[in-house]
A = this chain, B = another copy of it.
Amino acid sequence: MEVGVLYSGGKDSTLAALLLEEFYDVTLVTGHFGISDDWKHARETADAIGFAFERLELDPDVAHEAADRIKEDGFPRNGIQQVHQHALEELAATEYDAVADGTRRDDRVPTVSRAQAQSLEDRHGVDYIAPLSGFGRTAVDRLVASRLEVTVGPSEEIDRADYEAELRTLIAETDGSEVIADIFPDHTQTYVTGVHRD
């Protein structure tokens, strides 16, 4: 069975892939809007940790809507949620038997409710799997510590490929980079540089 895992190069989506690799043929799939080349960081990480990689073209209109929403809200949560749902829809419309993401039990965003999951599955004839949704924060932290090599640093210096990178770029282009620090207060990001397999 082929599963496409929505992939950012971060620790959650990497752990999700590790949890599935004994049971599925895993491809890491990074959505991008064509705004920046940040998706290439995810490809580098995928190569480094030995997974197949694909990129998934997303609708730039959704990025613009999400950026507007984020500026209006003054915080990224709802815009990120909007983009994640779009990415899942696009991924579910491809040829994988199953689609997955790195959402965790204790995440505030993105979240995928049971009803949303079932709707995605029914409409696309695909399984939706959230391998980390049964793991709490400390359980995830322990898996990260035992399985992943990570680099931690301020967002602007870390090469991640999550939606945030492109949304930041978009907002900086229209509103200047000085608003970014206000809107995205959580400065620290992590990305994965290697994995330990037993």
Q: Which residues of A contact B (CB under 8 A)?
A: 1, 18-19, 22-23, 97-98, 103, 105-106, 114, 117-118, 121, 127-136, 138-139, 142-143, 146-147, 198
Contact = CB atoms under 8 A, between A and B. Distances in A.
Contacts of A97: 142
A121 B18 CA distance: 24
- Copy total for this chain: 2
Contact of A106 (B114, B131, B143, B147): B114
Contacts of A114: 105-106
B198 A22 contact: yes
Contacts of A103: 134
Nearest to A23: B143
A139 B117 contact: no
Contacts of A133: 105, 133-134
11 contacts: A1-B142, A1-B146, A18-B22, A19-B23, A22-B198, A98-B139, A105-B117, A129-B134, A129-B136, A129-B139, A131-B134
A128 B105 CA distance: 11
B105 A146 contact: no
Contacts of A132: 134
